[in-house]
Amino acid sequence: MPKVLVAGGATGIGAAVVERLCNSGAEVTILDVAEPTHGRGAFLPCDLADPAAIDDSLERLPGGWDALVNVAGIPGPRPAEPVIAVNFLGLRHLTTQLLPRMTAGASVVNVASTAAQGWQRRASVIDQLLDTPDCATGLEWCRANGGLWEKDPYTFSKQCVVAWTYRAAGLARPFGVRVNAVSPGGTDTRLTENFTAQIGSEQVAWMNSHIGRAAMPDDIAKVIEFVAIGDCGWLNGIDIVADGGMTAGRLGGWIDFSQSPAMLARDKPPSNL
């Protein structure tokens, strides 16, 4: 029976992951600021933006973890600091603190987003935050460099998650632990309203028209479950995109993104008033 810690397992994709893991016979413990209503798994309240709260929670838990699923996240865009604190800095702190208490052959799954695509273009900025040693210095960097990331803190935070996953695969290797990321595309959760407000309802409808529908939480949970506890021991240090084919359409040329509402609006010349 695998023992799995799920950060952010109260709602949305996290709740769907907990449901699947429990149905698979896993022993699941949830860390979340909100108490789950689904009644699956054990629950320990924890503010994942607070490293001291994370440390306190880990002191209350035993060792011997077979998997860690980092799915906790908030959308933003404002206030920006909690977005980066939960989505990346808290994720990094929880993972690094738990690694020595994980079993050989264990798995870490960081839930990122397709919003992180193209992170390499700003790697020089992302690396500055990744180079900070802890949450406190990470927040200091964020406060001193707000102009580099605060415009879209969600995207930046998820770009940091993907970039750090590659580093973490090496960090976890001495412990015999694998680290991967899963990047969902548009998914129907409580965060949908926030994302729709950010990119526009026309853009969301255009995207869904090409792949049939938005993902449901269980669509993404199936992938996460496999990476967390499935028979995939040679899978390490990659970002798995789960977006129904949108990325394939862009790279393969069978979806013309230049005709999306967002691109057409960007390229539209200003009206002469």
pLDDT at 194: 63
Q: Rounded to an integer, what distance in angstroms lies between the CA atom of residue 192 and that of residue 212?
A: 17
Give the residue from 126, 124, 13, 114 showing the smallest Cα distance to 70: 13
Which residue carries 């800095």 as its tokens? 89
pLDDT at 204: 73
pLDDT at 273: 46
Q: Rounded to an integer, what distance in angstroms lies between the CA atom of residue 28 and that of residue 267?
A: 48
Residues 6+ apart with CB under 8 A from 76: 83, 152, 153, 154, 194
pLDDT at 272: 53
- Could you please report the per-residue DSSP string of 80-119? HHHHHIIIIIIHHHHHHHHGGGEEEEEEEEEE--GGGTTG
| Domain made up of 3-246: CATH architecture | 3-Layer(aba) Sandwich (3.40)
* N-term to C-term CA, the chain: 68
Give the residue from 265, 145, 126, 157 showing the smallest Cα distance to 206: 265
Q: Rounded to an integer, what distance in angstroms lies between the CA atom of residue 109 and that of residue 150?
A: 26
Q: Rounded to an integer, what distance in angstroms lies between the CA atom of residue 93 and that of residue 8?
A: 15
Pair type for strands 102-111 and 42-45? unpaired
| Per-residue tens of pLDDT for the chain, all 273 residues | 999 999 999 999 999 999 999 999 999 999 999 999 999 999 999 999 999 999 999 999 999 999 999 999 999 888 999 999 999 999 999 999 999 999 999 999 999 999 999 999 999 999 999 999 999 999 999 999 999 999 999 999 999 999 999 999 999 999 999 999 999 998 887 666 665 666 677 877 877 887 888 899 999 999 999 999 999 999 999 999 999 999 999 999 999 988 888 788 877 665 554
pLDDT at 207: 77
The sheet that has 3-7: what strands, in order across it?
42-45, 27-32, 3-7, 65-70, 102-111, 178-184, 239-242
